Amino acid sequence: MTERRSAKRGSKRSSSKRGDGAVIDVDATGEVHLADAAAEPDEDGDEDGDGDGDGVDEVVIGDAAQVIDVGDDDEVAARGAGPGDDDDGDGPADGPAARTADRKRRAAAGDRVSLIKRDPLQAYMQETRRYPLLTPDEEHDLAVKLFEHGDTVAARKLVEANLRLVVKIAYEYRRAHRNLLDLVQEGNIGLIQAVRKFDPYRGVKLSSYAAFWIRAYILKFILNNWRLVKIGTTQAQRKLFFNLRKERERLEQLGFQPTAALLAENLQVTEKEVEEMEKRLAAPEASLDAPVGSDDDGSRSRLDYLPSDGVRPDHAVEQGEFAQLLKDKLEVFAQTLEGREQTIFRERWLTESPRTLQEIGDEYGVSRERARQLEKRLLGRLRKYLETELGSAVDIDALGRE
């Protein structure tokens, strides 16, 4: 406390008097002190001598921000890195005297920086105001240049003139997404798409046409970022995502019980889709890799308890062994055939790319019907052979070739 008071005595102070009698006092280090004008300050400039600002309400601090000029972090760092301004003029500018001198120079030059950092959205709106709005004739002329000649300069002017429209539409969905600038960014993409596809000869204003594209891109962004896992991947699911809650509230206001069947009828979707979307919206997200709490060692996750959609290992082994056994039996049967029958059997049943009956008939100079009769007689013999060797495990009719 002693060092702090001695530093205050050795530095100059500036003050500003408020309309309610309070004095806003700023010392050389940039600290703000407020005191009643009628009170007798002590040698430190504090009424109670404790050197702190307890009891100052937010209104007073807000008023102080209007009369106090301090730089932001980058400006303060830049000033601290400048040449010294102490007594001998050679030392670095890291002391209170150097900061005081720098503040005086800024005050003399009229530099005033607010205590409160600017809002990014307000800064963006200030940038959009730089671009003037277009008259209907100017908009039509620019649109014609873009439509007929692909003039990118005209396209840029059309986009810049409608940036405020994107902010207006994005503000309608501010409750659906926390960051409004994200919605503005997606809306700008929709605006660019609208300008690219705009036809000036249809008699429609660009703003009216672009509004649909802007909303489409904003709604798509909201749907894709509502949760980590997408909950609307089909047209029916997207319709339910945006209209299910509103339709339920409307039915309740009319005195109806919003059942799944009634909601599905009004929204023109199936009852199963309504029930599935209600479960998706009501259930929170859960990680499949998160450890299960009931597990003692924590090595098991939810993914370990999900059933597999693939073939069971024992069934896979069983099917593989039976396929190999059947292949061997068919090869033994093929050795008992001769001539056209063996060709038909091998070209139709023992190959991955079977030939047609017409192709085989042309090879042997017979009709397709005759080739079919030969194959039918062949399959009768094969059925008896497999019943003898394998029983009823193989259904020949289910393996027929066309």
**Residue type at 95 in one-letter notation:** G
Mean pLDDT (the chain) is: 75
Residue with tokens 């069983």: 318
109 has a pLDDT exceeding 80:
no
Domain-by-domain residue ranges, the chain? 2-108, 123-224, 235-282, 322-399
Question: Which range, of 63-77, 226-240, 260-274, averages the lowest pLDDT?
Answer: 63-77
Q: Report, at the CATH architecture level, how domain 123-224 is classified.
A: Up-down Bundle (1.20)
Please give the share of the chain, as a percent, with pLDDT higher than 90.
23
Average the pLDDT over 89-114 and give the result.
58
Q: Which residues, 6+ apart, have CB-to-CB distance to 225 below 8 Å?
A: 177, 182
What pLDDT sits at residue 27? Answer: 54
**Distance from C-alpha of 372 to C-alpha of 355, rounded to nearest angstrom:** 12
Compute CA distances 379 → 251, 301, 321, 342, 355, whole Å: 65, 53, 23, 12, 16
| Same fold yes or no, 123-224 and 322-399 | no
Average the pLDDT over 251-256 and give the result.
91
For residues 230-264, b (16+ Cβ closer than 10 Å) or e, as one string? Answer: ebbeeebbbbbbeebeebbeebeeeeeebebebbb
What pLDDT sits at residue 139? Answer: 93
Question: Which range, of 38-47, 266-275, 333-342, 370-379, averages the lowest pLDDT?
Answer: 38-47
Q: Which residue has the higher pLDDT, 109 or 78?
A: 109
Q: Which tens digits make up the pLDDT trace of 126-182?
A: 899 999 999 999 999 999 999 999 999 999 999 999 999 999 999 999 888 888 999
2 has a pLDDT exceeding 90:
no
Q: Which residue has the higher pLDDT, 121 or 25?
A: 121
**Residue type at 208 in one-letter notation:** S
Topology of domain 322-399, per CATH? Answer: Arc Repressor Mutant, subunit A (1.10.10)
Burial of 357 (0-12, 13-18, 19+ CB in 10 A): buried
Q: Which tens digits make up the pLDDT trace of 266-307?
A: 998 999 989 888 888 887 777 788 777 665 666 778 777 777
Compute CA distances 352 → 159, 235, 318, 379, 401, whole Å: 59, 40, 22, 18, 12
Average the pLDDT over 179-208 and give the result.
93
Q: Say which DSSP state 42 is in.
A: -
**Distance from C-alpha of 95 to C-alpha of 26, rounded to nearest angstrom:** 17
> Which of 36-50, 154-168, 226-240, 381-395 is predicted most confidently?
154-168
Burial of 121 (0-12, 13-18, 19+ CB in 10 A): middle
- As given in the structure block, the two tokens for residue 117 are 């950092």
- As given in the structure block, the two tokens for residue 267 are 């929204």
What pLDDT sits at residue 300? Answer: 79
For 78, half-sphere exposure in the C-beta direction (CA atoms, 13 angstrom radius) is 7
